[in-house]
C-alpha cells in the first residue's frame, strides 16, 4: 500500500454523494481486486530484457465461478485507439464471464492466454461439453518507463493476481497494471473510489477503478481548479517528452449492485467519460479510452434451466403525481459514476510515488504541498476526511 495520502485525506472531496466504507470498487459487495507488480533493473533500455516497470491487476466481479454465473456487463468505447479483448462478445451477449485484467499493451496476448489456462484448470468441461470463456483484458502503454519487447507479465503473475484478489482497501498508484503508467506527465496508475446513492433511491453502490495513463500537465483539473497550469516547474525536460505525449489512455472499470441491464450500464459508462473530462482528459486521437461496467445484482447462469429468465431492472422514468423521489434513481447512478471516476483518477496520482524507468525516464509524484497551496489559492478550505 502507498503511504501517500488519498484525495480526501488532503481535504479534496469530489462531488456531493457519500463514499462507501473503503472508498473503493470493493465497496460493491463481492468485488475483489488483486495486483502483481514487476519492478526490475535500472539504466538504459535493453530491448527484451529491461528495465521492467509493468504488472497486472485483476478485478473479480464476485468470489464465485464467473463463467458459470456470469454478470451483466458492457464495454464502452470513449476513444478507440486501444484494446479490450472480447469486447464484441460482451456487447453482443451483455455479460462478462471471466475476471477483468488490466496490464501493459504488449502483455495482452499473454495475459489472455493465462486467463484461459486458469479457467481450464478450474473447469474440466470447458471446451469439451461446453464452450470456453472469453477473457476480458484491457491495456494502456507503459513504454515510457518499461521495456515492452520482453512482455514480462507471465502466466504465473496473472494467476497470482487473480487468486490473491481480495476485498477491503485497494492498493493504488504504481502497482499492478498501473506500475508503468503516467498521468498528466506525473506518475499515474491504479486509483479507485466509490459512491452511495440515497436509500430512498435504492441505497445502491457504484465503484470505479481506473488505470490512468493519459493527459498533459497543463490540462490537469482537480475539483474544478486548473492545478496543472499552476504547476509550472514540473514539466519533464525536452529529452524526456515522449512523441505520443498527446495520446495515451485510461481504462475505467465500474461496478454496481444496482440491477442495471447492459444498455443502462453503458449509460453509466458515458457518465464515467464525464468524470474523465472533469479531471482533464481530452479523448485524444491516439488515446485508448475504454469503460467496462458490470452489475452484481443479477447473475446469469451459463446453462439456464428455463427458456425465460426473470430479473429486476432499474426504472428510468417516474410517473407524475406518484409519491416517489423527485429524481429517478438512475440519475443518482449517473452522478455516482461520474464522481467516482473523477476521484479515482486523482487517487491514482496522489497515491503514486516517483518512478525512474528505462533510459532514466522519470515520472515524478504529483507534489502534494504545491497542490494544497494551489487549491487554497482558489478558495478551497481542504478539511481532511478519513478516506
Residue 218: pLDDT band (50, 70, 90) is very high
Q: Please report which confidence band the pLDDT of residue 246 belongs to, taking 50, 70 and 90 as the band edges.
A: very low
Phi, psi (rounded to 5 degrees) for 329 = -60, -30
Q: What is the pLDDT of residues 277-289, one digit of tens each?
A: 999 999 888 899 9
User: Does residue 319 lie in a domain region?
Assistant: no
Neighbours of 353 (CB within 10 A): 14
Would residue 387 count as lying in a domain? no
- CA-based nearest residue to 55, from 157, 148, 134: 157
Q: How far is CA 220 from the centre of its chain?
A: 18
Lowest mean pLDDT among 8-12, 47-51, 300-304: 300-304
Q: What does the pLDDT average to over 333-343? A: 99
Range of the domain at 265: 8-41+49-299+325-376
Q: What is the mean pLDDT of residues 298-322?
A: 83
3-state secondary structure 257-325: CCCCCHHHHHHHHHHHHHHHHHCCCCCCCCEEEEEEEEEEEEEEECCCCCCCCCCCCCCCCCCCCCCCC
Query: What pLDDT digit, counting tens, does each position of 1-13 carry?
Result: 568 999 999 999 9
Residue at 19 is within a domain: yes
User: Which of 52-66, 249-263, 290-304, 306-320 has the least mean pLDDT?
Assistant: 306-320
Within a domain: residue 310? no
Measured between alpha carbons, how far is 212 from 287 in angstroms, rounded to an integer?
Answer: 11
Radius of gyration of the chain (CA): 20
Contact assessment for residue 47 and residue 152, using Cβ atoms and an 8 Å cutoff: no
Cα–Cα distance for residue pair 76/369, rounded to 1 Å: 36
In a domain, 311, yes or no: no
User: How many domains would you assign to the chain?
Assistant: 1
Among 71-75, 130-134, 245-249, which stretch is predicted with the lowest mean pLDDT? Answer: 245-249
Average confidence score pLDDT of the chain: 93
- Residue 249's domain is classified under what CATH number? 3.60.70.12
Is 202 among the domain residues? Answer: yes
Q: Residue 251 pLDDT more than 80?
A: yes
Of the candidates 42, 162, 45, which has an alpha carbon nearest to the alpha carbon of residue 100? 162
Strand order, beta sheet including 32-40:
32-40, 52-60, 100-104, 136-140
**DSSP collapsed to 3 states, 184-207:** CCEECEEEEEEEECCHHHCCCEEE
pTM: 0.95
Select which of 142, 257, 289, 295 is catalytic. 289
> What are the start-end ranges of the E strands in the chain?
32-40, 52-60, 69-80, 95-96, 100-104, 136-140, 182-183, 186-187, 189-196, 205-214, 248-256, 287-301, 355-356, 362-363
Q: Which of 182, 287, 295, 348 is catalytic?
A: 287
Q: Is residue 313 part of a domain?
A: no
Residue 385 domain-assigned (yes or no):
no
Which residue out of 141, 193, 212, 249 is catalytically annotated?
249
Q: What cell was used for 142?
A: 507503459
- H or E stretch including 182? strand 182-183
164 assigned to active site: no
Q: Is 289 a catalytic residue?
A: yes
CA–CA distance, 223 with 15 (Å, rounded to integer): 8
Is 90 exceeded by the pLDDT of residue 387?
Answer: no
Question: Which helix (H) or strand (E) covers residue 40, if one does?
Answer: strand 32-40
Cell of 202: 435504492
Amino acid at each position: 500500500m502507498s503511504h501517500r495520502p488519498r484525495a480526501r485525506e488532503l481535504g479534496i472531496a469530489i462531488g456531493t454523494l457519500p463514499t462507501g466504507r473503503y472508498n473503493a470498487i470493493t465497496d460493491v459487495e463481492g468485488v475483489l481486486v488483486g495486483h502483481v507488480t514487476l519492478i526490475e533493473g535500472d539504466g538504459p533500455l535493453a530491448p527484451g530484457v529491461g528495465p521492467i516497470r509493468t504488472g497486472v491487476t485483476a478485478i473479480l466481479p464476485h468470489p464465485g465461478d464467473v463463467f458459470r454465473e456470469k454478470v451483466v456487463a458492457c464495454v464502452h468505447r470513449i476513444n478507440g485507439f486501444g484494446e479490450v479483448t472480447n469486447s464484441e462478445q460482451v456487447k453482443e451477449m451483455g455479460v462478462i464471464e471471466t475476471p477483468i485484467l488490466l496490464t501493459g499493451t504488449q502483455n495482452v496476448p499473454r495475459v489472455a492466454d493465462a486467463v484461459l489456462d486458469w479457467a481450464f484448470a478450474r473447469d474440466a468441461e470447458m471446451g469439451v461439453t461446453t464452450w470456453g470463456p472469453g477473457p476480458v483484458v484491457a491495456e494502456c502503454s507503459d513504454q515510457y518507463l518499461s521495456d515492452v519487447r520482453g512482455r514480462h507479465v507471465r502466466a504465473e503473475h496473472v494467476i497470482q493476481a487473480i487468486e490473491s484478489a481480495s476485498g477491503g482497501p485497494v492498493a493504488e498508484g504504481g502497482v499492478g497494471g498501473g506500475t508503468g503508467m503516467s498521468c498528466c506527465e506525473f506518475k499515474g496508475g491504479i486509483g479507485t473510489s466509490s459512491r452511495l446513492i440515497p436509500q430512498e433511491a435504492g441505497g445502491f453502490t457504484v465503484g470505479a477503478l481506473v488505470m490512468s495513463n493519459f493527459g498533459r500537465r497543463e490540462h490537469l483539473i482537480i475539483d474544478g481548479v486548473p492545478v496543472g497550469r499552476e504547476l509550472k516547474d514540473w514539466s519533464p525536460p525536452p529529452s524526456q517528452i515522449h512523441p505520443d505525449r498527446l495520446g495515451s489512455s485510461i481504462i475505467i472499470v465500474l461496478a454496481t449492485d444496482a440491477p442495471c441491464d447492459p444498455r443502462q450500464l453503458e449509460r453509466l459508462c458515458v457518465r464515467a467519460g464525464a468524470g474523465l473530462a472533469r479531471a482533464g482528459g481530452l479523448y485524444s486521437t491516439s488515446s485508448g479510452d475504454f469503460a467496462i461496467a458490470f452489475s452484481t445484482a443479477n447473475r446469469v447462469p451459463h446453462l439456464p434451466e428455463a427458456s425465460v429468465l426473470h430479473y429486476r431492472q432499474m426504472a428510468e422514468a417516474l410517473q407524475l403525481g406518484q409519491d416517489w423521489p423527485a429524481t429517478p434513481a438512475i440519475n443518482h447512478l449517473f452522478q455516482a459514476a461520474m464522481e467516482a471516476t473523477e476521484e479515482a483518477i486523482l487517487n491514482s496520482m496522489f497515491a503514486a510515488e516517483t518512478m525512474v524507468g528505462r533510459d532514466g525516464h522519470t515520472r515524478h509524484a504529483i507534489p502534494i504541498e504545491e497542490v494544497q497551496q494551489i487549491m487554497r489559492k482558489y478558495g478551497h478550505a481542504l478539511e481532511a476526511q478519513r478516506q
